[in-house]
Amino acid sequence: MRIDVPRLVLGAASSGSGKTTLAVALAAALRARGLKVAPFKCGPDYLDPGYHARASGVASHNLDGWMMGEEAVLSTFARAAAGADVAIIEGVMGLFDGASPASDAGSTAEIARWLGAPVVAVLDASGMARTAAAVARGLVDFDPALRVGALVCNRVGGRGHLELLREAVRVPPVAGGLPAREDLAFPERHLGLVSVAEALPGATVAAWAALAEEWLEVDALLALARSAPPLERPDRAASAPAAPVAGRPRCRIGVAWDEAFHFYYADNLARLEALGAELVRFSPLHDAAPPPVDGLYLGGGYPEEHAAALSANEGMRRAIRALAAAGRPIYAECGGLMYLASAIRTRDGREHDMVGLVPGVAVVRDRLQALGYAEVTTRAPSILGPAGLTFRGHQFRYSELAVPPSVSRVYAVAGRQGAPLLEGYAAGSVLASYVHAHWASCPAAAEGLVEACAR
């Protein structure tokens, strides 16, 4: 299949350079021009895609080379970008940073090469002039197979500063900059950016769109996107979710979705639907009980920020325990695991009772407890399928949970060195883990969950 969608990858020398700001500003400006923008995020991030969706008006999809592989990346891009006028792919960390310091596996550069997409380098230019040329030249020359076609200077001090940068940087051409605007900055929380509902009102999106038109060479960036060559991909990719099954659903899966739970890969949800599951959103915070469903998917989020309210909703907690007692599959990741624990101890030392399906108290710490990619092999049958399944995912958490040895541990989580960590807590029809899985790496796991719910 040939796909010819104009596209840009936004990369940088490091995290915090302004990639998300540029992605929001550019997407909003292009949307205001009447263009259909398809947004994407490199890497395992859950938060930035929410910002993209607010700016572009459509869901943003993750593209992760390490978790998904090339075939699934191309298939997801082709599916989500179909019919779009332009695709904007925000990078992760620095342009060449990924799963290993010795290769670009899992990096923004890897995704840009697979997509044949020109790169817009985003530079935090505060306090910088001629040195910007050295940084830009390094990004351009490091990988000759990568095309870095433009530079956008973020946090410029004014028009004069931007002109100095234009004079200093010859390659790649400077396609404008964005001024430092603390009044429009996206607030942060211990897990990164706060949720989009809290931090990105429509007025802020409109303000960044106006700044993009005022300060960026939007037409030049569009021309760069349109210079991307046609993309070839297999007609049928086995790792890509198919179209949703028509007719009566095989099962109904309740998906926790509110201020406390909203970290899901769009690709995972699409796979469940393609396998015949009807997904029904519900709120553990606000609803009295889950809707009539055959199973639950409790994703990550901020349960610690809403621990008191989650604990106060006793009816919901009782209903989830009843579903487990009835043998309905309950699959939980990270924040979902914390919710299924006996309690959450927040940073102020207070303990809040939770569902109690996984014994132990989830204790929120001031420092990161785990960060990075994870490869899981199942050691026993579970609601995801037989033993021996291998899939990839990611962890990013500030909490820890001590679970009694008597609780079954289905996952062997490979580490960089030493014995694998035994995790993936299972009891009856419940499976809970700190790992956020991406099922492109193992479509059979999504099939197993749907089959368990259908049964």
Residues 101 and 144 in one domain: yes
Give 28-79 pLDDT, tens digit per residue. 999 999 999 999 999 998 888 889 999 999 999 999 999 999 999 999 999 9
pLDDT tier for residue 243 given thresholds of 50, 70 and 90? low
DSSP state string for 393-410: EEEEESEEE---TTSEEE
Residues 133 and 35 in one domain: yes
Higher pLDDT among residues 216 and 46, named by residue: 216
Task: Specify if 245 maps to a domain.
Answer: no
pLDDT of residue 184: 82
Residues 140 and 264 in one domain: no
Residue 46 contacts residue 263 (beta carbons within 8 Å)? yes
Evaluate if residue 227 carries a pLDDT over 80: yes
Residues 392 and 436 in one domain: yes
Give the global pTM.
Answer: 0.88
Evaluate if residue 236 carries a pLDDT over 80: no
Residue 36 contacts residue 252 (beta carbons within 8 Å)? no
Residues 407 and 435 in one domain: yes
Number of compact structural domains in the chain: 2
Task: Specify if 100 maps to a domain.
Answer: yes
Q: Among 42, 251, 334, 453, which one carries the catalytic annotation?
A: 334
Residues 184 and 258 in one domain: no
Closest by CA to 221, choosing from 3, 27, 54, 38, is 27
Residues 19 and 150 in one domain: yes
Task: Specify if 102 maps to a domain.
Answer: yes
* Active site annotation includes 442: no
The CATH number that applies at residue 10 is 3.40.50.300
C-alpha–C-alpha distance, residues 378 and 251, integer Å: 24
Residues 221 and 322 in one domain: no
The strand pair at 341-345 and 300-301 is best described as unpaired
